[in-house]
Amino acid sequence: MFTTYALPLFCFPLSTAGAGISTGLLLVSYAASGHWREWRRAGERPWAIPLALLMGWTLLGLLWTSNMAFGIKVAEATSYGMFAFIGATLPWKERWLKLLIRMFIAGALINEALAFLMTWHVLPWRNEDGIAYTGFADHIFISLVIIHVFLWMLWDFKYGWNFNKWVNGLIALAFFAQLVLAPGRSGQVLFVLLLPVAVWILYEGRWRYWISLSIAGLATGMLFIPSVHALFALGIHQLTHFNLHAADTNSSWGLRLIAMIGGVKMFLAHPLFGVGTGDFYPSILAMQASHTLPATPLFVMNTAANSYISEAAVLGVVGLGLFLWFLWALTREAWRSRTRPQGWFALTYISIYLVGGLFDGLSWGYADAITIALMAGLPLYQKSVIEPSDPSAPF
């Protein structure tokens, strides 16, 4: 049961199809396990009501959409919240938490090894989208996975719960090399923003200052690497020179800003209920046809490149309120559990989800929608369900 719960986290960096199969195995094993009989335990979690209401409101949004095909995709992404309710009913023990985190790191490490071998043409396969050092994962997604590993290892480096300091250091070094070499600007930005905050939460005294200086040194060093410097310089140039009326449709930030502006316009036009579940892309096309927004013929703009604007645009203030309520309840629960491994592991992903959602549409992303649900399903702030691991167990 717990292996299948962790299996999607293992598969996401390696295979979308494998992740889909693993979620199917999770549902089958859960039905066979009988743990669903403990459904009342899920209702005790503070995020249960807002998540259930958000899932229901998203389904209701199909009633006023003009594009059922896109609507079903958005409703499907929101329905992955069921994995949170599944996790909330499971009888967690410490060894299962350790298994989950190790499988997550193992999947990312295997993808990294394959990424280097494919980039060096040792293996005949191609990196995703032809982007070097990404392996089988999207370059944005794998950069967020790497940051999650870094944030987790700051906790484990202090407590030595999962690996000792030397193993954590070697793994961190390997992932830092991939973060620098792969053009995942989202992860590089979060490295600079989130790691110092995590250090100040976890450490005190001289450790706080030494680790902060080390991170600052690494961040500064990254900017002297030509590929990283070029990416950041390009991003700053795109932001400072963006002009909505100049048809800036060939840059990453240009496309994102057009999508965000379009999403805000949808929300202002339909503030209460939004344009309908899945109706973001048709509404963007209508704005482009009326020349309210510049055309983007080579890009399917089905999100606002911002989780919060996306929710507000399609589901209105009601949907946005439910989304924020769910995130607040989940973050509060994880924060209270931050001194325990499951709490910190969930909190670090939630921080990536919260901040990353400002410049990426994570709420409708396949892997992100499932991962946030799996994190919510962990036994956060429930001391009674975490039992000491069996010394004879493999983990």
Spatial CB neighbours of 317, under 8 Å, sequence gap ≥ 6: 267, 271, 272
pLDDT at 189: 84
Highest mean pLDDT among 143-157, 208-222, 243-257: 143-157
Give the residue from 335, 353, 330, 362 showing the smallest Cα distance to 148. Answer: 353
In this predicted structure, the answer to whether residue 382 has a pLDDT above a threshold of 70 is: no
Residue 182 pLDDT > 90: no
Q: Which two tokens stand for residue 127?
A: 């990196």
Q: Name which of 10-14, 227-231, 338-342 the model is least confident about.
A: 227-231
Q: How confident is the model at residue 232 (pLDDT cuts 50, 70, 90)?
A: low
Helix H or strand E encompassing 331: helix 307-336
317 burial type by CB count under 10 A (0-12 exposed, 13-18 middle, 19+ buried): middle
Query: pLDDT: is 298 or 17 the higher one?
Result: 17
pLDDT at residue 233 is higher than 50: yes
Alpha-carbon span 175 to 194, nearest angstrom? 16
Contact by Cβ (8 Å): 154, 197? no
Res 311 pLDDT > 60: yes
Residue 384, pLDDT score: 40
Q: Give the H/E segment covering residue 208.
A: helix 205-223
Residue 221 CA to residue 9 CA, distance in Å, equals 31
Neighbours of 43 (CB within 10 A): 12
Please, what is the Cα angle at 261 between 258 and 265, to 5 degrees?
135
Q: What percent of the chain has pLDDT over 90?
A: 62
pLDDT (average), residues 20-31: 95
The C-alpha atoms of residue 252 and residue 174 are separated, in whole angstroms, by 28
Q: Which segment of 87-101, 296-310, 313-327 scores lowest on mean pLDDT? A: 296-310
Asked if the model's pLDDT at residue 313 lies above 70, the reply is yes
Cα dihedral 86, 82, 309, 238 sign = positive
- pLDDT tens for each residue of 186-214: 888 888 889 888 988 898 887 777 777 77
pLDDT digits (tens, 9 = 90+) for 80-132: 999 999 999 999 999 999 999 999 999 999 999 999 999 999 999 999 888 88
Task: Give residue 291's region: left, alpha or beta (phi > 0; psi -120 to 50).
Answer: left
- Say how far apart CA 75 and CA 62 lie, in whole Å: 8
